[in-house]
Amino acid sequence: MDNKYLYIETYGCQMNVSDTEVIFSIMAKHGYQRTEDITKADIILANTCSIRDNAEQRIYGRLEVFAKEKKQRPGIIVGIVGCMAERLKEALLDSGKVDIVAGPDSYRSLPSLAEAVRPGQPQINVLLSHEETYADIIPVRTDKNGVSAFVSIMRGCNNVCSYCVVPYTRGAERSRDPHTIVREVCKLVADGYKEVTLLGQNVDSYFWKDESGNVDFADLLAMVADVNPSLRVRFSTSHPKDISDKLIETMASRANICRCIHLPVQSGSDRMLEKMRRRYTREWYLGRVAKIRKEMPDCAITTDIIAGFCSETEQDHKDTLSIMEEVGYDYAYMFQYSERPGTLAARNYPDDVAPQVKTRRLNEIIELQNRLGLESNKRDVGKTFTVLVEGPSKRSADELCGRASNNKMCVFPDKVHKAGDYVSVKVLSCTSATLICELV
């Protein structure tokens, strides 16, 4: 079979990074080799995200670039896969610039879709599934240094938060057989990987049942952590309404489960949380934070925040600022509300916070988080951390960088160690983004 080359650009979340690795694996079985050079590609795919409008606008920009490539080499195939494919379906074909549209549950059909493409005959598969988890597919790892890998443990989401398009683009929640997860992790360890991140839209609702019993997320986390004590285990994303005492206690009981929990709060106002359909209150959220702090005082807590959701008042916004202060987030992803067609919010609530008000509130949130992040880093000055080396630092060839268990980036002068080594460092000083360290 002739070698054909597949080039994929990945946008959006870690789940998409993981899906891209699944696509490479599926396509490899049909003779497609991975390339990072678009000018060599027989197929160009964009694995897309629909979570905010600007994510989709960016893809339209990329389609122009792909069209230029296709003009020079008319035989090549251009495809949109992932959430935007699922959301827009046939409408994506109107541009005339797309040959394949494939949703998140139809990647097994990509080889046959590619086979069937003819000029003027684009191919589309956007069927969602209740079963597909790609459990049997061994992903082609695309990380640069062979140290850290993503492992998808479930797909879809059943929560229907009112602002979120994900339940429509990724379908219903389903968990992956834990034995296939542990097998994949064992293989990663055998291949020299030192860190895995277990991925799901809402990992706390992971659940598997078979003849040998029930497995919830805490059980799964323990199974994965017990594969090897020198393997670091991370996970994302938790949901405040579902994160259990058992999960927090399981983390605390194993040193190789990293001390960082991503716990999206979205808003500090009960009125907004209700409207967002998050199904927890500010008080409940703070109770979960207190439990985490009690079991693991050194655990970082990070979050997602949306500014300017429907009908948000100045008081609601102040409630968000105050919960940020109260928790003292180590890191946050912060967004302006972007109305997504078809969601509960788009159908029921006007998007009525003026754009300049959204921007101003977001800026206040970012400014506060910059201070909180710096304060959090300053609290670490003087401490000693074990760091998993990722490679040379961005700034200097004489420095290495890597993350502490709490996920903070550490840089330190070192000419001896290499990616994948564990080293002990002491924090000397910090910026808002980095801990400046020395080897100890």
User: What SS3 class is residue 261?
Assistant: strand
- If one asks whether residue 157 binds ligand SF4 (CB under 6 A), the answer comes out as yes
Of 202 and 376, the one with the shorter C-beta distance to ligand 5AD is 202
Selection from ligand 5AD, ligand SF4, none that 156 binds (CB < 5 to 8 A by kind) is none
Query: What does DSSP assign to residue 90?
Result: G
Cα angle 272, 337, 303; round to 5? 70
Residue from 167, 171, 178, 402 that binds ligand SF4 (CB under 6 A)? 167
Residue 266 in tokens: 């979205």
- If one asks whether residue 345 binds ligand SF4 (CB under 6 A), the answer comes out as no
Selection from ligand SF4, ligand 5AD, none that 201 binds (CB < 5 to 8 A by kind) is ligand SF4
Q: What is the 3-state secondary structure (H, E, C) of 349-385?
A: CCCCCCHHHHHHHHHHHHHHHHHHHHHHHHHHCCCEE
Q: Give the pairing of strands 195-199 and 232-236.
A: parallel
- If one asks whether residue 166 binds ligand SF4 (CB under 6 A), the answer comes out as yes
Cα angle 338, 50, 206; round to 5? 105
Cross-strand bridge partners of residue 379:
none
Q: Which residues bind ligand 5AD (CB under 6 A)?
A: 51-52, 163-164, 264, 266, 304, 306, 335, 337-338, 340
Nearest C-alpha neighbor of 238 from the set 229, 230, 248: 248
- If one asks whether residue 334 binds ligand SF4 (CB under 6 A), the answer comes out as no
Q: Which stretch binds ligand SF4 (CB under 6 A): 129-137, 162-170, 220-228, 353-361?
A: 162-170
Of 147 and 203, the one with the shorter C-beta distance to ligand SF4 is 203
- If one asks whether residue 159 binds ligand SF4 (CB under 6 A), the answer comes out as yes
- If one asks whether residue 161 binds ligand SF4 (CB under 6 A), the answer comes out as yes
Selection from ligand SF4, ligand 5AD, none that 202 binds (CB < 5 to 8 A by kind) is ligand SF4
Give residue 160's region: left, alpha or beta (phi > 0; psi -120 to 50). left
User: What SS3 class is residue 242?
Assistant: coil
Beta strands in 251-357 (DSSP E): 260-262, 300-307, 331-336
Nearest C-alpha neighbor of 226 from the set 191, 196, 263, 192: 196
Selection from ligand 5AD, ligand SF4, none that 65 binds (CB < 5 to 8 A by kind) is none
Residue from 10, 35, 202, 393 that binds ligand SF4 (CB under 6 A)? 202
Residues from 222 through 251 that contact ligand SF4 (CB under 6 A): 239
Residue 189 in tokens: 């360890």
Alpha-carbon span 338 to 347, nearest angstrom: 13
User: Shortest approach of ligand SF4 to residue 201 CB, angstroms?
Assistant: 4
Residues 393 and 400: beta-carbon distance below 8 Å: yes
Q: Which stretch binds ligand SF4 (CB under 6 A): 164-172, 246-254, 330-338, 419-427?
A: 164-172
Residue 108 in tokens: 């097994």
> In this structure, what are the phi and psi dihedrals at residue 401, rounded to the nearest 5 degrees?
-135, 160
What is the number of the residue whose Cβ is closest to ligand 5AD? 304
User: Shortest approach of ligand 5AD to residue 276 CB, angstroms?
Assistant: 9
Of 160 and 428, the one with the shorter C-beta distance to ligand SF4 is 160
Residues 323 and 282: beta-carbon distance below 8 Å: yes
Selection from ligand SF4, ligand 5AD, none that 160 binds (CB < 5 to 8 A by kind) is ligand SF4
Selection from ligand 5AD, ligand SF4, none that 52 binds (CB < 5 to 8 A by kind) is ligand 5AD
Q: How far apart are the first and last CA of the chain?
A: 54
Interface positions with ligand SF4 (CB under 6 A): 157, 159-161, 164, 166-167, 201-202, 239
